[in-house]
A = this chain, B = another copy of it.
Amino acid sequence: MNYHYPPSMTNLINYLMKLPGVGPKSAQRLAFFLLAAPEQDACGLGGAIVEARQKIRHCKICGNLSDEDTCMVCKDQTRDETILCVVEQPKDVVMLENTREFHGRYHVLHGAISPMEGIGPEQLTIDMLMKRLKEGGIQEVVMATNPSVEGDATVLYLSRLIKPLGIKVTRIAHGIPVGGDLEYADEATLSRAFWGRREL
């Protein structure tokens, strides 16, 4: 009979192979890395995965990731409560926070309307969003979904629901990226940049 790795190594390799983009060879390489790494790094990673799964949930107000029932943004009383930014994913919140431009609250949809993937409005946190808006106090909703077919469809759907409430609906600008070059911009971006031109 021929031998393979010990059972706990085979088990580890099988679990690593479930990660995206990790095949048998990469899984083996990662397993050997974890065996050779300092114990606190390897066991720390193992513990961090379990801890994250146990602790992280969606904020019951905005749907953002949180270790507690309400997230840090919703808890912060110094944030502007009159403006709400709607994003697709929790990572978009972090990207926007990094710009230090926005000081309002967020709402995370956890996706965008996509009939192709079978994602309708009911799979998103739109009910939660409408409930927040109907409670009053919010004067502007900034749509920061991705500039994709799905993101655009979601903006259209939401603006039809929100405008009758008398709330201003805006969308973040799409155009040539800072440091970009007209020569390398695609037509869709260029036409959006042209359409969104502003008077100086």
Contacts and interface: CB of A to CB of B under 8 A. Distances in A.
Contact of A18 (B39, B45, B56): B45
A49 B43 contact: yes
A44 to B, nearest CB: 5
Contacts of A5: 65, 90, 94
Contacts of A33: 19-20
A39 B46 CA distance: 14
Could you say which interface size class chain A belongs to? 35 or more
Contacts of A34: 49, 52-53
Interface in A22-51: 28-35, 37, 39, 41-51
A156 B130 CA distance: 76
A91 B32 contact: yes
B9 A65 contact: yes
Interface string A61-77: 00001111001110010
B65 A6 contact: yes
A194 interface: no
Contacts of A19: 30, 33, 45
Question: 7 tightest CB-CB pairs across the interface, nearest first?
Answer: A46-B49, A46-B50, A6-B67, A15-B45, A2-B97, A12-B52, A12-B48
6 contacts: A2-B98, A14-B48, A15-B45, A15-B48, A35-B53, A43-B53
